[in-house]
Amino acid sequence: MSRYVMGIDVGGTNLRCAVIDGSNDIVDRQSVRSHADQGMDVLLSNLLSLINDVRKSHDLSAVGIGIPGIIDSSSGVVTAAPNIANVKDYPLRRVLSDRLGGGVEIVIENDANAIAVGEWWKGAGKSVDSLVLLAIGTGLGGGIILGGELWNGADGMAGEIGHTTVYPDGVLCNCGNYGCLETCASSVAIRRMVSDGLKDENIVTSLRGLTTQAHKEEIPYIAMKAAEGGDKFALAIWVSMGRALGIAVASLVNMLNMEMVVIGGGVSNAWDLFIDSLKTEARKRAFPAPMSRLEIKKIILGDDAGILGTAYLARKKLNELKS
Amino acid sequence: MSRYVMGIDVGGTNLRCAVIDGSNDIVDRQSVRSHADQGMDVLLSNLLSLINDVRKSHDLSAVGIGIPGIIDSSSGVVTAAPNIANVKDYPLRRVLSDRLGGGVEIVIENDANAIAVGEWWKGAGKSVDSLVLLAIGTGLGGGIILGGELWNGADGMAGEIGHTTVYPDGVLCNCGNYGCLETCASSVAIRRMVSDGLKDENIVTSLRGLTTQAHKEEIPYIAMKAAEGGDKFALAIWVSMGRALGIAVASLVNMLNMEMVVIGGGVSNAWDLFIDSLKTEARKRAFPAPMSRLEIKKIILGDDAGILGTAYLARKKLNELKS
């Protein structure tokens, strides 16, 4: 059996991958277009090309694939994925296995779960056995490591911390629930808070002018810059996000007594604007003993976290099959 | 090494214990007064008497002890326990080990964690690998079994589901947080909802007369009977408790994707009055796939759950030491 294992991150735009050798060092990287917005057939064809291309130079034993969405990792089925057009209950592991032929193990995992594994394996959580990962981007993805293992639940669907309720009578979430953490802490949440606030003509803020011509994707960045420049309305938005995160972190601490929270995702670049309110709120609410031992860290592997995480899971699957 | 292991439940009133043999069958039971309200010295002396008494007839290898409160099970320290007068950071495992001499392993665990283990081992959760236990009594205790193991966290303090926030701006909890699940689902919560409601003179309810002379401990039972008799105000209280539980269960499902919720504790006797609103609320909020597979069951071992759970944990500790 070869020593080479590949991890792939399926983004809306790119498929990024890394190949690791038997010493778990990265020996190859590639990035190609995913065209996931053209549906699963196109994505599948691009995945196969990428994997077959890598196989020309490396004798792969296993491939791990991280996908944003609801993934049944126990059966390797993509239940739903916002970036892949029209996908529903697609048995990706089976289809890929059939098309690749024998000898390559496939692991499919939710992207945030993969990031949690990567950060625990080689990143911010290297020294701990338990952590919760919050990936704050368009939405809020989560991953839970307990006792040095990814906890992905009975159907591989665990870790959806973005869809735990923070404000029961809060804003309607994409998932159908009200007041999910994601509705308070994500780029979608920041945009909503900006646009709701601007409806009130009494609010004085630089965002009124700055956002008029802006593309909606730019608004969280503009809100970050405005807050850094002292705009009180913009600052309050980040404090409000920190408060919601703090409420969720306190509940997690009381429930899981984990050692660390690792925070990543594009929105986490506004770290200094929300971290104090997050900590203040969590300390007010959590039991003192488990809270005092909690470390809260930034993700350190960046874009490599998910790729390394899926590679780790693929390697682990191989080892389990061997034993 | 002997085959006998003992499990003890430390209640405010009684110490109840069972001895299990190598086949894990109960071969002896005892119940003595705990006098925990007289403080740790008295409780310790009663624990030692009970254990030494049992040792006369059974060669004990290990003792598991379940205690309501904040227990650092990794170090065997009772951090805080509401039923034991003036206890704070008491190293119960070390003291008991010293006083009992060698040859008897001691395991200290939170009582609800012990119930979770017992119900998973021999009760409602026998067929599953993951469950969340909610013990709804004076407060709301919780325990989490994942992958066939108690998850008790980095300091042995995990499982405090009663102290996860349901309503961030809700009622002040004993723990210092606002809007904990325990403030909405416990006998304390039922009493508060009754007394708050009765302050409104426009509310017509049989509870106004029924509770005037009642001892406060009786009020949840009176509220149950009134609701069963069709009293709308009383019914609404149980529905409100069910709603809060449903919000928490939905978050747990999205986060942990566990197979089962097991509900016990005295307040759970009002099952038919809150279970529908619990399920309705949880289904509205949780992802459909992990929610549809969730079973919600009543505890089935009753008072034996905690004793068997601690006995199991004591046996497990022995096996770990042997291996």
* ipTM given for this complex: 0.95
How do residues B230-288 score in pLDDT, each as one tens digit? 999 999 999 999 999 999 999 999 999 999 999 999 999 999 999 999 999 999 999 99
pLDDT of B2 reads 60
Interface of A with B in 75-114 (CB under 8 A): 79
Find the mean pLDDT for residues B18-31: 95
**A168, B164: Cβ pair inside 8 Å?**
no
Q: Does A289 reach chain B within 8 Å, measured CB to CB?
A: yes
**Per-residue pLDDT at A1 exceeds 60:** no
**A154, B284: Cβ pair inside 8 Å?**
no
**A255, B79: Cβ pair inside 8 Å?**
no
Q: What's the length of chain B?
A: 323
In this structure, what token pair is assigned to residue A176?
């159908």
Q: Does A130 reach chain B within 8 Å, measured CB to CB?
A: yes
The beta-strand segments (E) located in A73-114 are 77-80, 105-110
Strand, helix or coil for residue A285: helix
Report DSSP letters for A241-270, one per residue. HHHHHHHHHHHHHHHH--SEEEEESGGGGG
Rounded distance, CA B11 to CA A234, Å?
Answer: 52
Rounded distance, CA B235 to CA B203, Å?
Answer: 13
- The pTM assigned to this predicted structure is 0.95
In this structure, what token pair is assigned to residue B171?
């009622």
Percent of chain A past pLDDT 70, that is, above it, reads 99
By C-alpha distance, which of B141, B144, B117, B158 is closest to B259?
Answer: B144
Contact residues for B182 (Cβ-Cβ < 8 A; gap 6+): B139, B140, B162, B163, B173, B174, B175, B188, B189
Strand, helix or coil for residue B323: coil
Radius of gyration of chain A from its Cα atoms, rounded to whole angstroms = 20
Among all chains, which residue has been given the structure tokens 């399920």? Answer: B279
In contact, B72 and B156? CB cutoff 8 Å: yes
Rounded distance, CA A29 to CA A17, Å?
Answer: 6
Rounded distance, CA A64 to CA B185, Å?
Answer: 43
How do residues B32-57 score in pLDDT, each as one tens digit? 999 988 999 999 999 999 999 999 99
Find the mean pLDDT for residues A2-26: 92
Percent of chain A past pLDDT 90, that is, above it, reads 90
Among the partner residues B163, B164, B289, nearest to A155 by beta-carbon distance: B289
Rounded distance, CA B51 to CA A35, Å?
Answer: 68
Phi, psi of B110 (to 5 degrees): -60, 140
In contact, B298 and B124? CB cutoff 8 Å: yes
By C-alpha distance, which of A54, A60, A8 is closest to A28?
Answer: A54
**B289, A177: Cβ pair inside 8 Å?**
no
Strand, helix or coil for residue A43: helix
The beta-strand segments (E) located in A74-166 are 77-80, 105-110, 131-136, 140-146, 149-150
Among the partner residues A154, A284, A293, nearest to B257 by beta-carbon distance: A154
pLDDT of B85 reads 86
By C-alpha distance, which of B202, B201, B169, B170 is closest to B183?
Answer: B170
Strand, helix or coil for residue B112: helix
What is chain B's mean pLDDT, rounded? 95
DSSP character at residue B174: T
Please count the residue pairs, one from chain A and one from chain B, whose beta carbons lie less than 8 angstroms apart: 137
Strand, helix or coil for residue B251: helix
Least confident of A208-217, A238-247, A292-301: A208-217
Q: Does A295 reach chain B within 8 Å, measured CB to CB?
A: no
pLDDT of A12 reads 83
**A157, B255: Cβ pair inside 8 Å?**
no
Residue B129 is which amino acid?
Answer: D
Please tell me which residue of chain A has the smallest CA distance to B172: A285
In contact, B317 and B1? CB cutoff 8 Å: no
Least confident of A143-147, B102-106, B161-165: B102-106
Q: Does B166 reach chain A within 8 Å, measured CB to CB?
A: yes
Contact residues for A47 (Cβ-Cβ < 8 A; gap 6+): A8, A10, A15, A65, A96
